[in-house]
C-alpha cells in the first residue's frame, strides 16, 4: 500500500481553516432567504434514504466543478445567479473539500459545518421522497 502524503482527515482540516463554515441553527434561520441556495452534494441514494432540505438544489459532488464553470458544457444556470451558495453533505467532510476546491476556482461558497446529520436535531425541516412502488 502506498504511503499517503496527507490523510483524508488532514485534507478536511486544511479545508476548514480557509473556508466559511455555517452552523446548523444559522442556516435553518436563513433557509427561506431567497438569496441563499442550499446545495446538497450527497449521493442520490442518501437523499432518498434520509430525506433532504426542502428547496435544496441537488448537485452530485462529482460534477460540481463542471456545473459551476460557465465555460464548461455542463454549466448549470443556477450557479450563475448572484446568490449565496451553501453546500452540504452528510457530516461536513465532503462539503468542506468541495467548497475549498470551489474557492480555488474563484467561486464564492460556504458549507454547512456539521452537514445534514444535525439538521433535524436542530429543528430543520426535512422532505422525504415519495416511496418507490
Q: In this structure, is residue 133 part of a structural domain?
A: no
Is 129 part of a structural domain of the chain? no
Is pTM, for the whole model, over 0.75?
yes
User: Does the residue 2 lie in any domain?
Assistant: no
Is 127 a domain residue? Answer: no
CATH code of the domain covering residue 94: 3.40.250.10
Closest to 53 measured CA to CA, from 12, 112, 133, 132: 112
Phi, psi values for residue 22, rounded to 5°: -110, 130
Q: H-type helices in the chain, by residue range?
A: 8-18, 24-30, 44-50, 64-68, 93-105
pLDDT one-digit tens code per residue, 67-121: 999 999 999 999 999 999 999 999 999 999 999 999 999 999 999 999 999 999 9
Q: How many domains are there within the chain?
A: 1
* Eight-state DSSP code of residue 52: B
Q: Which pLDDT band holds residue 133 (cuts at 50, 70, 90)? A: low
Order the strands of the 57-58 sheet from edge to edge.
20-22, 110-112, 84-88, 36-40, 57-58
Structural domain span for residue 87: 8-121
In a domain, 46, yes or no: yes
Amino acid at each position: 500500500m502506498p504511503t499517503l502524503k496527507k490523510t483524508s482527515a488532514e485534507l478536511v482540516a486544511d479545508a476548514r481553516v480557509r473556508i466559511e463554515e455555517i452552523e446548523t441553527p444559522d442556516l435553518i434561520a436563513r433557509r427561506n432567504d431567497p438569496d441563499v441556495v442550499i446545495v446538497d452534494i450527497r449521493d442520490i441514494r442518501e437523499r432518498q434514504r434520509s430525506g433532504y432540505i426542502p428547496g435544496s438544489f441537488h448537485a452530485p459532488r462529482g460534477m460540481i466543478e463542471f456545473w459551476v464553470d460557465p465555460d464548461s458544457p455542463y454549466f448549470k444556470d443556477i450557479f450563475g445567479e448572484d446568490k449565496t451558495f451553501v453546500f452540504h453533505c452528510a457530516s461536513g467532510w465532503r462539503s468542506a473539500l468541495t467548497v475549498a476546491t470551489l474557492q480555488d476556482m474563484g467561486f464564492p461558497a460556504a458549507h454547512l459545518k456539521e452537514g445534514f446529520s444535525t439538521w433535524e436535531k436542530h429543528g430543520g425541516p426535512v422532505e422525504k421522497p415519495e416511496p418507490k412502488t
